[in-house]
Amino acid sequence: MTNGGIACGERARPHSSPSHWVFSSRLPLPSRRTARRIASSRRETLESKAPDEVDSQLQRENARSDDLKRRLDDVTAKLRTPRPPVTDHVAAARGDDLSGQLTRAEDRLKAPRPPERDPIAMARAEDLSRQVDRMSDELSRPRPVVEPPVVATLTRDQILASRNLLGLYTPQSPFSMADVDSLEAEIQRKVNIVGYFQSWKDAFRPDALQSAWRRGAVPLVTWESRSVTGLGTSEDDPDYSLPVILSGRYDDYIRSWARGIAQAGLPLILRFDHEMNAPWYPWAEVSVDNNGTRSINGNSRGDYARTWRHVHDIFSAVGADKATWVWCPYARDEPLRRYYPGARYVDWTGLDGFDWGPNSPEPAPPVGTRSTSSIAPFADRLYWTRAFWSSFVCM
C-alpha cells in the first residue's frame, strides 16, 4: 500500500500477534509526517466500524505507530552519529612514504655534516702541508758549521813591508794543512806564506785564499800559463804559446781570475810564469846551447815581458789590486833584462835556485857572480830573493 507516492509497507505473514506489520527491507521507511497521515486515515476508517472492532484495530495501529516511531528514532540517531573516516589505502601509503622521507630528512639535518670540499682551499692546504714537511726535514738535518768570515791579518802594503817571512809549499796546501802543522811543531815557528800551483785549466779558487788566511798565512799562488802543472811536462804546449796569449784568446779567462781576486777581497802573492829564462816551460822564449839558438813553443824574444804586461793590465782594468806580483827567474848566470816587464809591473823579485849536485847541467859560474851579475839591475826589489830563496822550504 502506498500513500502520497511513498511505499509504506505490505501485508506479510502475521506473527504471533495480529497487530505486528512486517516491512520489506527493500522499501524506504516513511517520514513522520507520512506516518501521522497514515495513522489519521486509519482512525477515520476505524471510527466507521463497530466499536469493538474499532478498538481492536486502533490498538494495533497505535502499536504499529509506536513501533514505526521507535525505528525512525533509531535511524535518526544513527544518521546523527559521526561516521568514521573512509580509509584510502593509496593515500595512506603515500602519506606513510612522505612521513618517512620527512623523518629521514630531519635526521640528515640533525646529523653533523662534513666540511665542504673547496678545491682552492684544499690545494692551498696541500701546498702548506708540503711546505711544513720540507721545513721539518730541513730542521731535522744537522746544520752545517758556519765558518766566521775570513779576515786577512795583513794588508797588501804590510805584506810588501814585511821582513823575515817563512814560506812553505806542500802538495796539499793550502787545502790541507797537515804538513804545515807538522813543520811548525818541529821548528817551533809559524809559517807566514803558504804556496800552491794552478794551471790555466783551473778556475780561480777563493777557498784557497780563505784557507790560508784562516791560519793567518799569506797565500802564494804560482800561476802557470799551460794546461797542466807539475814536473816532467813538456815545454811544447802550442795552445798556450806567448803569441796565442797576446792575441787575446785567454783574455776572458784572465779576467775571470782578476774578478775572482777582487771579489774575494783578500791579499795574495801572485807568482806568474816563473823561471822564464829556463828551457823547460812553454813560456820560455828561446833555448841557447851547443846546437845554437832555437825557439821554444813558437815564442820569440821579448814575448815574455809583453805577455806579463798584458795580463797585468787586465788585472788593473778589473780593479784586482790585492795581488802582489812576483817576478821570479831561474838563478843562472845570464842577462835577464829582456825578461823584465818593468818596475811598474813588478812588486817583488825572486830567484829559483836548485842544488843539482855533481851532475849539474849548469856550468859553474865564476865565484861571486851567480847572485850579483845577473840580478844586480833589479837590486831595489831584491827583498823577495832573500825572503824566498833563503826561507822558502819545499817539502
Mean pLDDT of 375-385: 45
Confidence (pLDDT) at 204? 96
- Segment 315-342, tens digit of pLDDT: 999 999 999 999 999 987 788 899 999 9
CB-neighbour burial class of residue 281 (10 A; exposed 0-12, middle 13-18, buried 19+): buried
Residue pointed to by grid coordinates 612522505: 98
- Segment 24-42, tens digit of pLDDT: 445 556 677 777 777 777 6
- Segment 238-268, tens digit of pLDDT: 999 999 999 999 999 999 999 999 999 999 9
The residue out of 80, 107, 123 marking a domain boundary is 80
SS3 at position 95:
helix
Cα separation of 270 and 160, whole Å?
13
**8 A C-beta contact, residue 299 and residue 286:** yes
Cα separation of 39 and 153, whole Å?
152
103: enclosing H helix or E strand: helix 89-110
Lowest average pLDDT, out of 196-205, 265-274, 285-294, 386-395, goes to 386-395
Lowest average pLDDT, out of 85-94, 151-160, 363-372, goes to 363-372
Inter-CA distances, 101 with 95, 112, 176, 188, Å: 10, 19, 85, 100
Confidence (pLDDT) at 394? 36
- Segment 174-225, tens digit of pLDDT: 988 899 899 889 999 999 999 999 999 999 999 999 999 998 999 999 999 9
Position 85 in a domain: no
Residues 327, 190, single domain; the answer is yes
CB-neighbour burial class of residue 305 (10 A; exposed 0-12, middle 13-18, buried 19+): buried
Cα separation of 46 and 2, whole Å?
19
- Among residues 322, 281, 362, the alpha carbon closest in space to that of 154 is found at 322
Among 45-49, 118-122, 168-172, 185-189, the range with the most confident prediction by mean pLDDT is 185-189
Nearest 5°: CA angle at 359, between 355 and 364?
Answer: 70
CB-neighbour burial class of residue 333 (10 A; exposed 0-12, middle 13-18, buried 19+): middle
270: enclosing H helix or E strand: strand 268-272
The residue out of 32, 47, 80 marking a domain boundary is 80
Residues 222, 316, single domain; the answer is yes
Position 335 in a domain: yes
Q: How many CB atoms lie within 10 A of CB 329?
A: 22
Lowest average pLDDT, out of 228-237, 277-286, 298-307, goes to 228-237
Q: pLDDT higher for 345 or 80? A: 345
Instruction: State yes or no: pLDDT of 347 exceeds 80.
Output: yes
Confidence (pLDDT) at 4? 43
Residues 225, 334, single domain; the answer is yes
State the angle between helix axes of 32-47 and 51-80 in degrees (0 to 180), rounded to the nearest 10. 180
Q: How many CB atoms lie within 10 A of CB 71?
A: 12
Position 368 in a domain: yes
Q: What is the mean pLDDT of the chain?
A: 79
Residue 289, beta-bridge partner list: 292
Residues 74, 162, single domain; the answer is no
Cα separation of 365 and 382, whole Å?
20
Please list, residue by residue across 130-168, b when 16 or more beta carbons sit within 10 angstroms of its beta carbon and e when fewer do.
eeeeeeeeeeeeeeeeeeeebebebebeebeeeeebbbb
Residues 61, 173, single domain; the answer is no
Residues 222, 335, single domain; the answer is yes
Q: Which amino acid is at 11?
A: R
Inter-CA distances, 338 with 284, 299, 324, Å: 12, 14, 21
Mean pLDDT of 50-68: 78
CATH number, domain with residue 281: 3.20.20.80
Position 100 in a domain: no
Residues 73, 184, single domain; the answer is no
Residues 224, 330, single domain; the answer is yes
The residue out of 36, 55, 80 marking a domain boundary is 80
Q: pLDDT higher for 175 or 357? A: 175
Give 3-state DSSP helix, strand, coil % of the chain, rounded to 5.
45, 10, 45
This prediction has a pTM of: 0.58
Residues 61, 170, single domain; the answer is no
**8 A C-beta contact, residue 273 and residue 307:** yes
Instruction: State yes or no: pLDDT of 103 exceeds 50.
Output: yes
pLDDT above 70 covers a percentage of the chain that reads 73
Residues 67, 183, single domain; the answer is no
State which residues form the domain around 41: 2-80
Total tally of structural domains belonging to the chain: 2
